Chain A
Amino acid sequence: MLTILFDGIAYGMLLFVLACGLAVTLGLMNFVNLAHGAFAMAGGYVTVVMVNRWGVPFFAALPLAFLFSAVIGLLFERTLYVHVYRKPHLDQVLFTIGLVFMSVAAVDFVMGSQQVFVQLPSWLEGQFTVFGVGIGRYRLLIIVICGVLTVGLQLVLSRTRFGSRLRAAVDDARVARGLGINVNRVFALTFAFGSGLAGLGGALGAEILGLDPIFPLKFMIYFLIVVTVGGTSSITGPFLASLLLGIGDVAGKYYVPTFGSFVIYTIMIVVLIWRPQGLFARPVGR
């Protein structure tokens, strides 16, 4: 029971790191980015290649995965995404689905369609027991890393100048522009950082979520659930939503396997109908 809760928390934290970049970019530009998972996949595959083929230590590979995805994200943002912000949502959806399809086929072409795993250091495998609760070492590591990241993100957002600019831009981009905040720059940086986080999440999650070319499609709905249920006006909302989703999904698959992921989708629809702004969103004056 507690083991399931623990696994669920690990899963939820992972989802949060994967999806929080999406939450911020969506809130900032009102841009529907279905291709977020592609950046996560990029980070995951880079880690696999580095660790398995080149023998880079796992912990050195993680920041590199972050950097790699961030650079790709920045590149795409500056060259392609900028042209799509002002277009209607239909165009944004088409554009990002196109990116997803391309990334799926490209990874399939380069890496093959089978599922891949990262070779973990041996001391991270297996689990130990505390007060009768089985705790996976790797999952504990995920919780620690993601927890530190979450606290760090919250501090950056609430304490730094960049954070306050970002929050101002999310609240009202026009007024923020009027105050001399370079919203486009803030957005590009956030996009790159969010993509980097997704890449890091992909690298960490390769073991738990499974990494194969259809990763962006498989988890697209999960990311979107986190964002829509959590709301886009803060990162606490998506964080709570991720935890709920993680615990709910793990527990649901364990206790009522016949329902599968059915429960998650149903809950999502109900929440969206009940509160279209998200469960934890504060009302935004727009």
Chain B
Amino acid sequence: MLLARLSQEEVTGRLVGRAHWHPLEVLFWVAAFATIWLFPSKHLILTEIAWLALFALSLDLILGYAGIVSLGHAAFFGFGAYTAALLAKHEIINEPVIALVVAGLAASALGFVTSFLVLRGTDLTRIMVTLGVAFVLREIANQNGWLTGGADGLQGVTMKPILGQFRFDMFGHNGYVYCLVVLFVLFLLARRIVNSPFGLSLQSIRNNPLRASAIGINVNARLIAIYTIAAGYAGIAGALLAQTQAFASLAYFDFERSADLLLVLVIGGTGYLYGGIIGAVVFKFMHDYLAVLTPQYWPFWIGLLLVVLVMVGRERITGWTAPFRRMADRLDWRRLRPRGETTEGR
């Protein structure tokens, strides 16, 4: 209907327009990089935010864009973490960046293999299968203590300097810059992916798989592709954690990690790339605050938050970003040109 009245060029123009950078986005990343100099004493928690944001971004790719509910995303996170830690421990790949890429590729491979399991069935089946995959990996890591250190975790990992230049110092300065740069680069890639025709086709699959296949989209192939990519992202997030901590443990595979991740993403809002990052910031600071307040019982407050989020309605709570987006629209001179009635994101 709407599309029929648009010429090919107009469609392309609108798609390109969608992908333009908002002034607020630029501001966001300038602020993010400014934290390197502004808050040097907070670099340890900021590092955690950076890898958590990347992890949440990875879940957003499959949940927010492709509509796959996963309760076992920690499987890829842990797999990437163990890969990176083992590569460093046995001095197979000494350079952290190359090890990071390898860990990401390994997690992608795992994602590709397991993606066939999530294609079939309903949401419930997917939840079960993703849960099961994470449990199986955790068991494998647990049973092969000679390789992974079993329940004690993988100790004795020493990280070599990044690019042979920058040592992982104990205050986490270099580690933070490293994580932030990786997050930014992968964010750019994800931004490119979701704004491409491929990304749009994913959103159409999320909204209605049947109709998507009716207009000629190969649903399964696209889901496999995005699942593989997201698994690689999660693996890199895990590898970042393993590299900055010089440690890997079974807890990386835990169900709680996958569940917390869902909360992180939901706090920030699903289906737009900044959701995971904003959620990670809010979640980590909240966690930090609550953990000091009630060290043992903070899961209670996390649980309460989840219940309240659902009861009140996720849209209404994450709706607090809407005024900012409207403001951004007004600031944005490029928006003066005619646009379709859809707005970016949800």
Task: Name which residue of chain A comes closest to B263, CB basis.
Answer: A94
Task: Name which residue of chain A comes closest to B69, CB basis.
Answer: A90
Q: Which stretch of A63-71, A203-211, A236-244, A259-267 is in the interface?
A: A259-267
Enumerate chain B residues within 8 angstroms of A99, measured Cβ to Cβ: 303, 307
The reply on B36 being an interface residue by CB < 8 A is: no
Which of chain B's residues 199-222 have a Cβ closer than 8 Å to chain A? Answer: none
The reply on A60 being an interface residue by CB < 8 A is: no
A91 touches B297 (CB 8 A): no
Provided the pairs A89-B69, A269-B117 are in contact, do residues A105 and B303 lie with their beta carbons within 8 angstroms?
yes
Task: Name which residue of chain A comes closest to B297, CB basis.
Answer: A105
Q: How far is the CA of A83 from the CA of B310 in the complex (A)?
A: 9
Enumerate chain A residues within 8 angstroms of B306, measured Cβ to Cβ: 94-95, 97-98, 101
Q: How far is the CA of A280 from the CA of B158 in the complex (A)?
A: 52
Which of chain B's residues 239-263 have a Cβ closer than 8 Å to chain A? Answer: 255-256, 259, 262-263
A108 touches B259 (CB 8 A): no
The reply on B66 being an interface residue by CB < 8 A is: no
Q: How far is the CA of A156 from the CA of B93 in the complex (A)?
A: 64
Q: How far is the CA of A76 from the CA of B309 in the complex (A)?
A: 17
Q: How far is the CA of A261 from the CA of B305 in the complex (A)?
A: 32
Provided the pairs A102-B307, A272-B129 are in contact, do residues A258 and B299 lie with their beta carbons within 8 angstroms?
no
Q: How far is the CA of A71 from the CA of B133 in the complex (A)?
A: 36
Provided the pairs A87-B310, A101-B299 are in contact, do residues A276 and B122 lie with their beta carbons within 8 angstroms?
yes
Enumerate chain A residues within 8 angstroms of B131, measured Cβ to Cβ: 221, 224
A97 touches B259 (CB 8 A): yes
Q: How far is the CA of A260 from the CA of B298 in the complex (A)?
A: 31
The reply on B331 being an interface residue by CB < 8 A is: no
Interface residues as binary, B67-87 with A (CB distance below 8 Å gives 1, 0 otherwise): 001010000000000000000
The reply on A186 being an interface residue by CB < 8 A is: no
Q: How far is the CA of A38 from the CA of B75 in the complex (A)?
A: 25
Q: Which stretch of B26-34, B48-56, B138-146, B338-346 is in the interface?
A: B138-146
Which of chain A's residues 49-98 have a Cβ closer than 8 Å to chain B? Answer: 80, 83-84, 87, 89-95, 97-98
The reply on B314 being an interface residue by CB < 8 A is: yes
Enumerate chain B residues within 8 angstroms of A266, measured Cβ to Cβ: 132, 136
Enumerate chain A residues within 8 angstroms of B307, measured Cβ to Cβ: 80, 95, 98-99, 102
Q: How far is the CA of A262 from the CA of B2 in the complex (A)?
A: 53
Enumerate chain B residues within 8 angstroms of A92, measured Cβ to Cβ: 310
Task: Name which residue of chain A comes closest to B266, CB basis.
Answer: A94
Enumerate chain A residues within 8 angstroms of B170, measured Cβ to Cβ: none
The reply on A228 being an interface residue by CB < 8 A is: yes
Q: How far is the CA of A268 from the CA of B120 in the complex (A)?
A: 14
The reply on A123 being an interface residue by CB < 8 A is: no
A276 touches B120 (CB 8 A): yes
Could you tell me the distance in whole angstroms from the C-beta of A129 to the nearest C-beta in chain B?
35
The reply on B189 being an interface residue by CB < 8 A is: no
Enumerate chain B residues within 8 angstroms of A104, measured Cβ to Cβ: 299-300, 303
B302 touches A101 (CB 8 A): yes
Enumerate chain A residues within 8 angstroms of B121, measured Cβ to Cβ: 272, 276
Enumerate chain B residues within 8 angstroms of A101, measured Cβ to Cβ: 259, 299-300, 302-303, 306
Task: Name which residue of chain B comes closest to A103, CB basis.
Answer: B303
The reply on A128 being an interface residue by CB < 8 A is: no
Enumerate chain A residues within 8 angstroms of B266, measured Cβ to Cβ: 94
The reply on A28 being an interface residue by CB < 8 A is: no
Could you tell me the distance in whole angstroms from the C-beta of A232 to the nearest C-beta in chain B?
9
A95 touches B143 (CB 8 A): no
Q: How far is the CA of A89 from the CA of B296 in the complex (A)?
A: 30
Contact among A97, A103, A276 with B125 in the assembled complex (CB-CB below 8 Å) = A276
Contact among A106, A224, A258 with B143 in the assembled complex (CB-CB below 8 Å) = A258
The reply on A131 being an interface residue by CB < 8 A is: no
A89 touches B123 (CB 8 A): yes
Enumerate chain A residues within 8 angstroms of B3, measured Cβ to Cβ: none
The reply on A197 being an interface residue by CB < 8 A is: no
B132 touches A268 (CB 8 A): yes
Task: Name which residue of chain B comes closest to A277, CB basis.
Answer: B121
Provided the pairs A221-B132, A262-B143 are in contact, do residues A273 and B304 lie with their beta carbons within 8 angstroms?
no
B125 touches A272 (CB 8 A): yes
Interface residues as binary, B131-167 with A (CB distance below 8 Å gives 1, 0 otherwise): 1110110011011000000000000000000000000
Q: Which of A32, A83, A101, A102 has the most chain B CB atoms closer than 10 A to its own CB?
A: A101
The reply on A109 being an interface residue by CB < 8 A is: yes
Contact among A105, A109, A269, A276 with B136 in the assembled complex (CB-CB below 8 Å) = A269
Which of chain A's residues 207-266 have a Cβ closer than 8 Å to chain B? Answer: 217, 220-221, 224-225, 228, 258-262, 265-266
Enumerate chain A residues within 8 angstroms of B129, measured Cβ to Cβ: 269, 272-273
Q: How far is the CA of A108 from the CA of B270 in the complex (A)?
A: 32
Interface residues as binary, B39-71 with A (CB distance below 8 Å gives 1, 0 otherwise): 000000000000000000000000100000101
A-B contact pairs, 23 of them (CB 8 A): A84-B310, A87-B310, A90-B69, A94-B306, A95-B307, A97-B262, A98-B304, A98-B306, A102-B304, A104-B300, A105-B296, A109-B296, A217-B256, A228-B125, A259-B139, A260-B142, A266-B132, A268-B128, A269-B132, A272-B128, A272-B132, A273-B117, A273-B120
Beyond A97-B259, A260-B143, A273-B120, 15 additional contacts (C-beta under 8 Å) are A32-B124, A84-B311, A89-B127, A92-B310, A98-B305, A102-B304, A105-B296, A221-B131, A228-B125, A260-B139, A262-B140, A268-B132, A269-B117, A276-B120, A276-B121
